[in-house]
Amino acid sequence: MLRAAETELLTKFPYGGVVLRPGFIHGTRQAGSMKLPLGVIGSPLEMVLQYAKPLNQGPLVGPLLTPPVNVTSVANVAVRAATDTVFPPGIIDVYGILRYSQQKST
């Protein structure tokens, strides 16, 4: 169902549709009155696994080696994709999110 929605978005908006595929998103999560620091696990994994891209191409192990991404990075790329007129349309995976979140918008 998600892939069908992505296809529909990219069909309807071929010159401006952006799909984000972040995978595991880490940050501090509020669950009732308790805060869960998902960054304690996510940050170190993000740093280590962002260099494992060649290893995550395999169908069985690949998804396990996809690095987590910080919620702030996902939000920054989402805002940039929505507001930057020269942001490229298409599907942005974890590595694209990491790359675009480190770049300055135009």
The per-residue pLDDT for 15 is 82
What pLDDT digit, counting tens, does each position of 3-55 carry? 888 888 888 888 888 999 998 888 888 888 888 887 777 787 777 777 666 66
- What are the domain boundaries of the chain? 2-102
The per-residue pLDDT for 100 is 93
Cβ burial of 100 (10 Å; 0-12, 13-18, 19+) is buried
Mean pLDDT of the chain: 83
Q: Where are the alpha helices (DSSP H) in the chain?
A: 2-12, 39-49, 71-83, 94-102
Residue 73 to residue 21: CA distance in whole angstroms: 12
Exposed e or buried b per residue across 6-45, where buried means at least 16 C-beta atoms within 10 angstroms of its C-beta: eeebbeeeeeebbbbebeebbbeeeeeeeeeebbeebeeb
The per-residue pLDDT for 43 is 81
